[in-house]
Amino acid sequence: MENIRHYKPFQTGQYGIFLAFMIVCVVLSILTPGFLSGSNLLIIGTQVSINALLAFGVTFVIISGGIDLSLGSMVAVAGVASAMFAHPDTYPLVVPLGMGLLAGLAIGLLNGWVITKTKVAPFIVTLGTMTIGRGLALILSKGRPVSNLSDSFNFIGGGTVWGIPFPILTLIITFLICHFILNKTILGRYIYAVGGNEEAAHASGIDVGKVKLKVYALCGLLCALGGILLTSRVTTGQPNAGAGFELDAIAAAIIGGTSTSGGTGTMVGTLMGAMLIGVIGNGLDLLNVTSYYQLVVMGTIIIGAVVLDGLGKKNR
């Protein structure tokens, strides 16, 4: 039984992502003296945090064999919902937090429920809820930004603890929880099983519908957390916030080695993917590359990562 207890944080093929991340960091630190400064690293961490939260959520979904396009809309709904209860001297902090999380959870559950009950493809269902969610955010906010938020609420996205921005702490804690769920719990094992072979999982006695429902609910919760962080950071609940966020989050998961066909992927990989995206964006900013070119670079990296991953597999 050799090597059974040997701990492997990465799956085979993900060392490449780690290597790419290190190379990019070394190159950027040579090219731009400011890159490795403490303040810049904290900026990167803060910028990465929201995308990483969404990416963790969608990693659960993709491993289970699904996809979620409604991430950005859930960010908006949760952001607006929390902001509406976060005006100064109205409710204690738990109320806006709870309302935001509830909003994300509700849409996540809706996604999971429709997908398991109707067997319509997740791509289509979440394409629908993406639009519904955006509409709900506009309805709730009457189309206007929700501003004038309490200081305690604004601390979530803008405050620091022992000099570390609160979003980074949120990111670290959430990462640990997600990693734990995926690797140490029965639900985590079932997520891999459902994504790896749904028919076999069903025949093995796994309640596939329940697993999917939990996965989309979890994703909704994580998006809501991202929405609350964003709202707090910009001190406004924007109904148009989060548009296009789903693509960055899916990109982070895929760069991190999660296969879109389901059954494989890790939270460590997704975290690396999100950080790689963040570091490259930051580095290009420091190098004064305009955002137009940044988009081209980012797209190339997404494809490049998957191509390299494929080459690595072939060589084995």
Partner 1 sequence: MNHIGAMTEPIVRINQITKSFYGTKVLDQVDLELYPGEVLALMGENGAGKSTLMKILIGLLKADSGSISFLGKEVHSQKSGLEKTIAMIHQEMLVVPELTVAQNIFLGRERSFSGKFWLKDRVINQKAQGVLAQLGLRLLPTTKLKDLAVAEVQMVEIAKAISLEARVIIMDEPTSAISDKEVAALFAIIEALKRQGVAIIYISHKMDEIFRIADRIAVLRDGKMVHRGPAEALDTDRLVSLMVGRAIDQLFPEETTAIGAQLLAVKGLTRAPAFEDIHFELHGGEVLGLAGLMGAGRTELARVLCGLDSPHAGEIRIGGEVARLKNPQEAIAKGIGYVSEDRKAFGFIPRMSVKNNLTLSSLKQHRKGGTVNEKSEEKVMAENLLHLHIKASSGRQPVGELSGGNQQKVVLGRVLNTQPHIVILDEPTRGVDVGAKFEIYKLIHELKKSGKAILLISSELPEILGMSDRILVLAKGKQTALMSRAEASEERIMQHAVL
Q: Is 60 near partner 1 (CB under 8 A)?
A: no
Q: What are 190's two structure tokens?
A: 């079932």
Binding test (CB under 8 A) with partner 1, winner from 263, 269, 273, 278? 263
Does the footprint of partner 1 cover residue 193 (CB under 8 A)? Answer: yes
Whether residue 31 contacts residue 289, with contact meaning beta carbons closer than 8 Å, is answered with no
Q: Does 89 bind partner 1 (CB under 8 A)?
A: no
Angle among Cα 247, 250, 252 to the nearest 5 degrees reads 110
- Residue type at 149 in one-letter notation: L
Strands 160-161 and 164-165: antiparallel
CA 186 to CA 192: how far, in whole Å?
A: 10
Give bridge partners of residue 182 from the DSSP assignment: none
Angle between helices 94-118 and 71-84 (to 10 degrees): 150
Any idea what the Cα angle at residue 151 is, between residues 149 and 156, rounded to 5°? Answer: 95
In this complex, which beta carbon is closest to partner 1, that of residue 186 or of residue 303? 186
The answer to whether residue 314 forms part of the interface with partner 1 (CB under 8 A) is no
Tokens 């980012």 -> residue: 298
User: Closest separation between CB of residue 204 and partner 1, Å?
Assistant: 4
Query: Does residue 65 belong to the site contacting partner 1 (CB under 8 A)?
Result: no
Residue (7 or 292) nearer to partner 1, CB: 7
Question: Considering the rule CB under 8 A, would residue 221 count as an interface residue with partner 1?
Answer: no
Residue number, 31 or 173, with CB nearest to partner 1:
173
Q: Which of 147, 152, 160, 197 binds partner 1 (CB under 8 A)?
A: 197
Q: Check binding of 1 to partner 1 (CB under 8 A).
A: yes
Helix (H, G, I), strand (E, B) or coil at 83: helix
186 binds partner 1 (CB under 8 A): yes
What minimum distance in Å lies between the beta carbon of 266 and partner 1? 13
In the complex, the residues that contact partner 1 under the rule CB under 8 A are 1-4, 180, 184-186, 188-190, 192-193, 196-197, 199-207, 263-264
